[in-house]
Amino acid sequence: MATSEKVLVIGANGQIGSELVLALRKKHGADHVIASDINAPVDAIRNGGPFEIANVLDKNSLQHIFELYRPTQVYLLAAILSAVGEQKPKLAWDLNMNGLIHVLDLAVEFEVKKVFWPSSIAVFGPHSPKQNTPQYCVMDPNTVYGFSKLAGERWCEYYHAKYGLDVRSIRYPGLISWKTNPGGGTTDYAVHIFHEALQSGTYQSFLSANTALPMMYMDDAIRATLSLMDAPDECITIRSSYNLGGISFTPEALAAEIKKQIPEFTLTYADNDPRQAIADSWPQSIDDTYAKTDWDWKLEYDIERLTSEMLKNLKNSLV
Residues of this chain that interact with ligand AKB (CB under 6 A) are 81-82, 120-122, 145, 172, 174, 182, 185-187
Cβ 103 to ligand AKB shortest distance, Å: 19
Quick one: which H or E segment has residue 9?
Answer: strand 7-10
* Burial classification of residue 73, based on how many CB atoms lie within 10 Å of its CB (0-12 exposed, 13-18 middle, 19 or more buried): buried
What is the smallest separation between the CB atom of 26 and ligand AKB, expressed in angstroms?
A: 25
**Min dist. Cβ of residue 211 to ligand AKB (A):** 12
Longest dimension (CA), the chain: 58
**DSSP reduced 3-state for 279:** helix
- Of 122 and 150, nearer to ligand AKB (C-beta) is 122
Helix (H, G, I), strand (E, B) or coil at 149: helix
The residues annotated as belonging to the active site are 145
- For ligand AKB, the closer CB: 13 or 82: 82
Tell me how far apart the alpha carbons of residues 166 and 168 are, in angstroms, rounded to a whole number: 7
Closest approach of Cβ 231 to ligand AKB, in Å? 22
Supply the DSSP string of 17-74, one letter for each residue.
Answer: HHHHHHHHHHHH-GGGEEEEESSPPPHHHHSSS-EEE--TT-HHHHHHHHHHH--SEE
Nearer to ligand AKB, 71 or 182 (CB): 182
Q: How many angstroms separate the CA atoms of 191 and 83, rounded?
A: 15
Q: Decide: helix, strand or coil at residue 318.
A: helix
The rounded distance, in Å, linking the Cα atoms of 10 and 152 is 16
145 vs 301, beta carbon nearer ligand AKB: 145
To the nearest whole angstrom, how small is the minimum distance from the Cβ of residue 98 to ligand AKB? 19
Residue 125 or 182 having the CB closest to ligand AKB: 182
**Which residue, 41 or 214, has its beta carbon nearer to ligand AKB?**
214
SS3 content of the chain, % helix, strand, coil (to 5): 45, 15, 35
In the complex, which residue's CB is closest to ligand AKB?
185
Burial 104-141 (b: 16+ CB within 10 A, else e): bbbbbebebebbbbbbbbbbbbeebeeeebebeeeeeb
CB of 191 to ligand AKB, least distance (A): 9
Pick 72 or 276: Cβ nearer ligand AKB: 276
Gyration radius of the chain over CA positions: 19
Q: How far is the CB of 182 from ligand AKB (least distance, A)?
A: 6
Query: By the 8 A CB rule, do 314 and 198 touch?
Result: yes
| Distance (Å, whole) CA 260 – CA 255 | 9
User: What is the rounded CA–CA span in Å between residue 307 and residue 113?
Assistant: 37
